[in-house]
């Protein structure tokens, strides 16, 4: 049976998607959000990374979106393109090189907002972190940059292949920077999702942002669910994770995506040492989706590091098991296969 984009955007959502806020606190299979796809095994944000993540039993594909010159949204970790594509080797784009200020830092390179969608579609992806993912360097120059409609279609195709609901977490970043350039990424996200048929809270989609005002603005344009991402050292994080802060968030979002250190205390003498954030957020009517679990020692709590190499693989499975055991609603990770194993282990233990 075939499905059109509106059916898949508005169709019945699997148990992991939890459309109604009160249901977040109920026991159910937590979701796996594939950050950039299976980005530990393939180049982040490429078709092969997203398709592999679906095979590895993820529930959502997560992409970070940046705008092109005309405002179209493409899947890139950030606006500068030379770290993630072959643009620096393309003589026809040599004159586009520029120096700009990004988050208070001077950055030299090529920027997505200076290219049309058609031009970016000719660029080929590169592994942005070869020290952490040396196995992916061999894949440089083999896959094009994806647009948001491309990503949504990959998810829909995954639904048809697997018989599961595969959603998308669409993250916008640096919203004010782009507004200053005349690019309204929040409105563009709402417009593109509406065009693709994702228009209701039950749709298999999350709009993500670190900026509360971005989610407030998105809520005036779309009924799609919203997730506020919270970094440990981010502005306002301390207040956001209090009872009052969570109550405020519930006014403009249906879930939070806190950094893992806000859920499992990395400084505790014993591991794991869960904080009360998951329970507090559930009590406020919010879903909780940890971000972003990676296997590298540098990203793990000290108790889970193995060896002295910061890029070496630590005991990521133990962290994933601890997070799922904490009763959260999902985990974002570039290791969906490890997450699926940990989830299955925790679900089996809960049924005993």
Q: What is the four-CA torsion angle of 229, 281, 40, 118, rounded to 10 degrees?
A: -30
| Integer Cα distance of 133 and 311 in angstroms | 9
Q: What is the four-CA torsion angle of 244, 20, 327, 342, rounded to 10 degrees?
A: -140
Encode pLDDT of 195-231 as tens digits.
999 999 999 999 999 999 999 999 999 999 999 999 9
Q: Which CATH superfamily is domain 231-352 in?
A: Phosphatidylinositol (PI) phosphodiesterase (3.20.20.190)
98-102 and 105-109 strand pairing: antiparallel
166, 12 contact by CB (below 8 A): no
Phi, psi of 126 (to 5 degrees): -130, 155
Encode pLDDT of 317-329 as tens digits.
999 999 999 999 9
- Tell me what pLDDT residue 235 has: 83
Average pLDDT over residues 256-282: 95
Longest dimension (CA), the chain: 64
Phi, psi of 255 (to 5 degrees): -155, 160
| Predicted confidence (pLDDT) at residue 3 exceeds the cutoff of 60 | no
Strands (E), the chain: 31-35, 60-67, 73-75, 98-102, 105-109, 167-172, 205-209, 225-230, 255-258, 287-293, 330-333
Mean pLDDT of the chain: 92
pLDDT band at 233 (very low <50, low <70, confident <90, very high): confident
pLDDT band at 349 (very low <50, low <70, confident <90, very high): confident
pLDDT band at 5 (very low <50, low <70, confident <90, very high): low
Going from N- to C-terminal start, the domains of the chain cover 231-352
| Integer Cα distance of 133 and 118 in angstroms | 29
| Integer Cα distance of 102 and 100 in angstroms | 6
290, 261 contact by CB (below 8 A): no
Residue 266's alpha-carbon distances to 109, 190, 274, 322, in angstroms, are 36, 37, 9, 12
């Amino acid at each position: 049976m075939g499905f059109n984009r509106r059916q898949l955007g508005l169709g019945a959502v699997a148990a992991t998607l939890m459309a109604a806020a009160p249901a977040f606190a109920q026991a159910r299979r937590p979701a796996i959000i594939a950050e950039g796809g299976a980005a530990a095994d393939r180049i982040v944000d490429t078709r092969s990374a997203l398709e592999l993540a679906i095979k590895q039993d993820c529930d959502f594909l997560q992409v970070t979106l940046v705008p092109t010159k005309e405002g179209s949204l493409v899947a890139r970790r950030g606006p500068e393109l030379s770290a993630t594509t072959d643009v620096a080797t393309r003589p026809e784009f040599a004159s586009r090189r520029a120096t700009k200020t990004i988050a208070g830092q001077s950055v030299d390179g090529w920027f997505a907002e200076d290219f049309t969608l058609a031009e970016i579609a000719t660029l080929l992806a590169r592994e942005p972190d070869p020290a952490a993912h040396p196995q992916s360097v061999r894949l440089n120059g083999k896959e094009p940059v994806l647009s948001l409609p491309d990503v949504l279609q990959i998810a829909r195709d995954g639904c048809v292949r697997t018989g599961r609901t595969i959603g998308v977490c669409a993250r916008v970043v640096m919203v004010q920077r782009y507004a200053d350039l005349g690019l309204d990424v929040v409105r563009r996200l709402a417009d593109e999702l509406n065009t693709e048929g994702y228009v209701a809270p039950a749709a298999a989609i999350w709009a993500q942002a670190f900026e509360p005002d971005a989610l407030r603005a998105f809520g005036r344009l779309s009924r799609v669910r919203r997730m506020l991402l919270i970094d440990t050292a981010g502005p306002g994080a301390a207040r956001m994770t209090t009872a009052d802060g969570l109550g405020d968030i519930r006014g403009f979002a249906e879930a939070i995506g806190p950094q893992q250190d806000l859920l499992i205390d990395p400084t505790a003498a014993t591991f794991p040492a869960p904080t009360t954030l998951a329970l507090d957020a559930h009590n406020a009517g919010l879903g909780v989706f940890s971000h972003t679990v990676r296997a590298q020692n540098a990203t793990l709590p000290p108790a889970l590091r193995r060896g002295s190499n910061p890029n070496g693989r630590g005991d990521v499975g133990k962290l994933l098991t601890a997070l799922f055991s904490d009763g959260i609603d999902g985990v974002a990770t570039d290791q969906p296969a490890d997450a699926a194993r940990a989830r299955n282990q925790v679900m089996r233990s809960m049924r005993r």
